[in-house]
Amino acid sequence: MKRREFLKKSLSTGTATLCTVAAAGSAEARENLKPKEDAIGMLYDSTLCVGCKACVYKCKEVNGMPPVQESEIYAWDEARDLSGDTMNVIKIYQDGTAAVKDSEVDGFAFEKRSCMHCVDPGCVSVCPVTAMRQDPITGIVTHHADVCIGCRNCMVGCPYNVPQFEYDDAFGQIIKCQMCNQKGVERIDKGMMTGCAEACPTGATLFGSRTELMAEAKRRMDLKAGEIYNYPRGDVRTPDSFHEKEVPEYKKHIWGETEAGGTNVLHISSVSFDKLGMPPLGDRSAASIAEGVQHSLYSYLALPAVALAGLAITVRRNTDDKEEEL
């Protein structure tokens, strides 16, 4: 019995030590990752969007995806959300009579759903293999099916519900926007812009470097409602054309500037983002907090070592008992 008590005590002490280590570790959690210097991204201005869905079509064309059919009317793509067949979709916010564009009350507004390309991506952090990666230069969050084990952790790790699984395919894969730069498409590497930004007739989806897009978004925040502004189309660095439009009453909020460490795809709008379905996110990225805990637990293989030791002891003890009985 004394031996047993000794073992019990030593085990509990070990656990307590482990907890202390974990606590200390989380206190020293790493900082959010910083935006890459040459990160590329997109700026989606909800007030410019006219709901033509040209970007939805272009996305499917570039990425070779079929349209989603939900009703008997085979008129056009009826995708309701991101799915294994859809990486980009235009959704609508409606209130009351929904008569006025970009009005929260009795109005409507469009919102684009596609990968936000987080600066500190949760999907990359939770991926147990290296199927989810962030490009070290462009900051594009990429998916590599050749390594993917299909655990779908990334779907849970994403605050925006972006990675989707092809459930209706026996050999389904994770599908997500890779800024038209995945193998076989490689539009960015070829010096082109994303399909959606190229198709957008109003510049609601604007392509460019994160730095320049952020500057453009801030410029729009500083405009007075009713002023005439020359909106660029295509690539913010080298716009192929401009169009003049009256400035709407922007909400002074650039989604993606700080949210969960920021995103490379920025959104601005005249309707608050909680109404546009954006999740409540703090400034800290989930990855930075979780990795702090996880990495301290696993540093120097401490947790596996302790667990293995515990298991070994238990097994040893049980085996000894049995042998004694026999």
Considering only residues 74, 167, 171, 300, which one is a binding residue for another protein as defined by CB under 8 A? 167
Write each residue from 112 to 151 as x if it is in contact with another protein (CB under 8 A), else as -, in one continuous string.
----------------------------------------
Which residue type does 89 have? V
How many residues bind another protein, per CB under 8 A?
Answer: 47
The residue from 126, 179, 199, 213 that contacts another protein (CB under 8 A) is 199
Q: Which of residues 36-75 bind another protein (CB under 8 A)?
A: 50-55, 57-58, 68, 70, 75
**Nearer of residues 110 and 250 to another protein, judged by Cβ:** 110
Q: Which two tokens stand for residue 214?
A: 């952020």
Residue for token pair 């410029």: 219
Tell me which of 10, 94, 272, 314 binds another protein, using CB under 8 A: 94
CA–CA distance, 41 with 179 (Å, rounded to integer)? 8
Q: Left (φ > 0), alpha (ψ -120 to 50) or beta: where does 82 sit? A: beta
Beta strands in the chain (DSSP E): 40-45, 89-94, 100-101, 107-113, 132-134, 141-143, 164-165, 174-175, 205-209, 228-233, 241-246, 265-268
The neighbour count for residue 282, using CB atoms within 10 Å, is 11
264 alpha carbon, distance to own chain's centre? 10
Interface stretch with another protein, choices 5-13, 80-88, 175-183, 302-310 (CB under 8 A): 80-88
Beta strands 164-165 and 132-134: pairing type? Answer: unpaired
In this complex, which beta carbon is closest to another protein, that of residue 76 or of residue 298?
76
Amino acid occupying residue 44: Y
Unique residue bearing structure tokens 């070592």: 305
| Interface with another protein (CB under 8 A), residue from 101, 144, 152, 295 | 101
Q: Which residues pair with 89 in a beta bridge?
A: 113
- Least distance from C-beta 76 to another protein, angstroms? 6
The minimum distance between CB 321 and another protein, in angstroms, equals 21
The CA-atom distances, in angstroms, between 226 and each of 248, 249, 311 are 6, 8, 70
Q: Is 78 in the site for another protein (CB under 8 A)?
A: yes
Rule CB under 8 A: choose which of 275, 293, 297, 302 binds another protein. Answer: 275
Residues that bind another protein (CB under 8 A): 50-55, 57-58, 68, 70, 75-76, 78-83, 85-86, 89-94, 98-99, 101, 108, 110-111, 167-168, 199-202, 233, 240-241, 243-245, 275-277
